[in-house]
Structure 1
Amino acid sequence: MCGRFAIHSPTDQIATRFGVVGQLPEFSPRYNAAPLQMLPVIRTHPETKERTLALLRWGLVPVWSKDSTGAARMINARAESVPDKPAFRSAFKKRRCLVPFDNFYEWKKLDAKTKQPYAIGTTSNEKPDAFAGLWEGWKDPSSDEWLHTFTIVTTEANEITNEVHDRMPVILPPTAWAAWLGEDEVGADELVALMRPYPADQTRLWPVHRDVGNVRNDRADLVEPINPA
């Protein structure tokens, strides 16, 4: 799964990297982004076909949900089931997005009581990178207000990330962004083919401070490598 990540690249850098147009949201760096937070997401406008950047809440709420309380359970969507699972199949067809990130975190179990967190990222010199995501709009029946949410697609781990977890988020290279966003006409089989493990030789992993385990901690040194105890 992917339950914590960092996105600290400046908003204007995100916009330039992804070719975003229009007004940019105000967003402070997140070194420990967590579920149910408002985080930057790139989508393609259905009419203008331009890429936009907006803050959506992490944890997808399906359009047919009676309430939003189950969002924390929908922070990830398994690549193997998104084309058919009721919670995700509509978004997979029509509402795919990119979730910019600088690195993500996983925890390696050392013994019965201890886990060591690791940061994971790509070897690319251009940042941020992009998770494959799905987004949804849900209308609160009690207030008639719209809530826009997203989930991150996961797949099997590659040889590097498998050291700490058997799943990893789908990381899309720039060459796949247009297809995933629906800007290029591609079929379901081609989309499924994009949801594969990121190349191990382009993946890096390093131990970080255990303070990242507490969502209240959100500071720059959390992404810095340490010597694990």
Structure 2
Amino acid sequence: MCNLYSNTIPATAMRQLFDVAVERDRLGNAVPLPAIYPKHLAPVVRKGDEGKRELVPLSWGFRTTKKSKKTGAIIQPGAWNNARDDKVRSNGLWKQSFEERRCLVPASSFCEAQGRNPATYHWFALKGDEDRPPFAFAGLWQNSRYQGEEGPEEVVTYTVITTTANELVKPIHPQRMPVILKPQDYEQWMDGNADDAFELLEPFNSNEMQIVRSGEGEKSDPAGRLP
């Protein structure tokens, strides 16, 4: 389960990596994001109204109405930041987005916690010539409509798909890890049919990944450097 990741990729590099024309970059003054949590805004690559890719800031986590178990009153909405690969074709929260609104979620690294009180945080990245080569999670997006504390609300959101943990992640998080897509698969994910896209939902090769940082309380870097 992924609840924390980073994206410190410059906007110019994201446009090049994900084949987005400069006029379709909607990020504005994008800044490095060393720690992205559920309900935070972060860059997403999706297909716009004309079917062309665009870079947009969306909020992490599909929203749904949430009620207090004690009082039944509407409280802050739930944020579904992960979608299981084995549920995306059957679960009503994910199904239509999987068929019609797939996206790429640019990232530099992601974090998984191990243990409690205190937890140890492990940051995973890809191997490569760079310190932390950029990559993309397989994602979905939607316009979430729900009941908030003050009445009906809506926000454009995204979620990250997870799959079975590979051999590197498994000792830290035994069950799940985010789906990381290879660049040659971006087009199939964005433009292929549901069957084509589903074929890509598998663990990333552990030999091509590394743990780049571990420690208690290592959830972000106070100096602003990449986790």
> Residue 115 of structure 1 corresponds to which residue in structure 2?
119
Structure (1/2) with the larger helix percentage:
1
Q: Aligned-residue CA RMSD in angstroms?
A: 2.5
Question: Structure 1 residues 45, 33: closer, same or farther in 2, change over 3 A?
Answer: same
Match for residue 47 of structure 2 among 7, 21, 44: 44
Cα distance, 1:44 vs. partner?
1.6
* Percent identity of paired positions between Structure 1 and Structure 2: 29
Match for residue 220 of structure 1 among 216, 220, 224: 224
Task: For residue 181 of structure 2, give the secondary structure of its aligned residue in structure 1.
Answer: coil
Task: For residue 63 of structure 2, give the secondary structure of its aligned residue in structure 1.
Answer: coil
**More moved, 14-23 vs 192-201:** 14-23
Cα distance, 1:6 vs. partner?
0.6
Taking the aligned partners of 1:140 and 1:77, their CA distance within structure 2 comes to 18
Question: Structure 1 residues 219, 135: closer, same or farther in 2, change over 3 A?
Answer: farther
Spell out the pairing of 1:51-130 with structure 2 (5 A cutoff): 51-61=53-63, 69-72=76-79, 74-109=80-115, 113-125=117-129, 127-130=133-136
AA partner of residue 117 (structure 1): Y
Cα distance, 1:206 vs. partner?
3.2
> Residue 14 of structure 2 corresponds to which residue in structure 1?
14
> Residue 158 of structure 1 corresponds to which residue in structure 2?
166
TM-score, normalised on structure 1?
0.82
| Native 8 Å contact 2:62 2:144 kept in 1 | no
Question: Structure 1 residues 144, 29: closer, same or farther in 2, change over 3 A?
Answer: same
Taking the aligned partners of 2:223 and 2:78, their CA distance within structure 1 comes to 25
Structure (1/2) with the larger strand percentage:
2
Query: Could you give the per-residue CA deviations for residues 139-181 of structure 1, whole angstroms, max 9, x where no partner exists?
Result: 5788887521000000010001112002100000011111111
Question: Structure 1 residues 83, 69: closer, same or farther in 2, change over 3 A?
Answer: farther
Unaligned runs of 5+ in 1: 224-229
Residues 1:181 and 2:190 aligned together: yes
Task: For residue 217 of structure 2, give the secondary structure of its aligned residue in structure 1.
Answer: helix
**More moved, 2-11 vs 119-128:** 119-128
Aligned residues: 212
